[in-house]
Amino acid sequence: MERVLVCGGKRSKGSDDDATGWAYQYVVDPVGTAGKLGEWLCRAALQPPPPPRVCGTPGGPPVTARRVRLSDGRHLAYEESGVPKESARYKIEVAEELGVYMVAFDRAGYGESDPNPSRSVRSAATDMEELADALGLGDKFHAVGVSLGCHAVWGALRYIPHRLAGVAMLAPVVNYWWPGFPASMAAEVYARQTRGDQWALRVSHHAPGILHWWMDQRWLPTSTVVDNTTPLPNKRDAEVRRTLTADGTLEKKKEMATQQGIHESYYRDMTVMFGKWEFDPMALPEPPCPVHMWQGDEDGLVPVELQRHVAGSLGWVNYHELPGTGHFLSAVPGLGNTVLRTLFG
């Protein structure tokens, strides 16, 4: 019997630094501006983020979802869909026609899953493994990752490949500092981002301890991704965002996802995804299961050039590029069925 876990959001120059143009300049500062800036940054670094409002604790949001208790005492919230687990032929998020049982879960710090101050790519993978064991999904299960949630799937391919029956990644976010990227390619693509996004990623990678302060200050540009203002070249993506913004859906989803604190959800995701990884995905050995990746060629959030390089570096990845398609793959008609049929057909 096979199972599937879905990793996404709410159930709902001369070194690796060159890729982002992170360099140092020394200038004469006759009025002491640099010293004042340094003092200001030090104060920022010493100012911790606000404590999380943990679900189910005094002053925190209520617990309304199903949750499992992990080995370290944290809780992971999840939601089931598809056919009943007992009668499923496959365990993942899939259509009833194929007899698939699916489980979507909130990553640590999102929705109603407890925060994890030690969150990492490895812990994202082991959280998935513990959830599968708690739900009795058997020795093997399928894993589906979406966008930034794919770091959990890369972690599973590195740390628990023996537990995977199959993998699908949809528009997986990339880390510009992965060693497998040619420095010139990564630098060129990185420079296309807005200044605010460039700096948000730099801080996430080089100074994660002050990311909360950087993202909260308003006199310098920050992440357009978090603010949902990123320029989107794909018409469908732009229309989806416009519609979800107009009817309030986007704001409601963000409020639910970050209800325990934006630092424990969005900002920790940024430091994990764009921080220093223990491994390079482009150096992974072939896993004992099929791996599929879908990517739009008009994705305004994940550069298709870098995705092509990732897939081209791994001969065992089945790469599916979608012409005229952006980042929001859930809005592509019929793609969900295509993914399921590819995994189980």
DSSP string, 3-27: -EEEESS-----SGGGGGT------
Helices 304-313 & 183-190 angle (0-180, nearest 10): 150
Query: Domain for residue 12, yes or no?
Result: no
pLDDT in tens, the chain (345 residues): 455 566 654 444 333 444 443 333 333 344 455 555 566 566 656 678 889 999 999 999 999 999 999 999 999 999 987 656 665 555 555 456 667 788 999 999 999 999 999 999 999 999 999 999 999 999 999 999 999 999 999 999 999 999 999 999 999 999 999 999 999 999 999 999 999 999 999 999 999 999 999 998 888 889 999 999 999 999 999 999 999 999 999 999 999 999 999 999 999 999 999 999 999 999 999 999 999 999 999 999 999 999 999 999 999 999 999 999 999 999 999 999 899 999 987
Q: What residues contact residue 81 under an 8 Å CB cut-off, 6+ apart?
A: 93, 102, 103, 104
Task: Annotate 269-329 with DSSP letters as a single string.
Answer: HHHHHSS--SS-GGGPPPPSS-EEEEEETT-SSS-HHHHHHHHHH-TTEEEEEETT--S-G
* pLDDT reported for residue 22: 35
CA 194, 189, 177, 289 torsion-angle sign: positive
Give the CATH number, domain containing residue 75: 3.40.50.1820
Backbone torsion region of residue 73, taken as left when φ is above 0, otherwise alpha when ψ lies between -120 and 50, otherwise beta? left
Q: Say how far apart CA 22 and CA 126 lie, in whole Å.
A: 32
Helix (H) or strand (E) holding 336: helix 335-344
Residue 271's identity, in one-letter code, is T
* pLDDT reported for residue 14: 36
Domains contained in the chain, number = 1
* pLDDT reported for residue 23: 34
Closest CA to 144 of 326, 334, 9: 9
Query: Domain for residue 108, yes or no?
Result: yes
* pLDDT reported for residue 80: 85
Query: Domain for residue 178, yes or no?
Result: yes
Query: Domain for residue 243, yes or no?
Result: yes
Q: Say how far apart CA 329 and CA 322 lie, in whole Å.
A: 9
Q: Say how far apart CA 176 and CA 273 lie, in whole Å.
A: 10
Backbone φ and ψ of 104, nearest 5°: -105, 145
Q: Say how far apart CA 5 and CA 132 lie, in whole Å.
A: 8
Query: Domain for residue 286, yes or no?
Result: yes
**CA distances (Å), origin 90, targets 99, 156, 239, 335, 343:** 6, 18, 34, 19, 10
Q: At 206, list the tokens.
A: 């080089």
CB atoms within 10 A of CB 109: 26
| Four-CA torsion 273, 278, 283, 288, nearest 10 degrees | -90
Query: Domain for residue 9, yes or no?
Result: no
Range of the domain at 116: 68-344
Query: Domain for residue 247, yes or no?
Result: yes
Query: Domain for residue 238, yes or no?
Result: yes
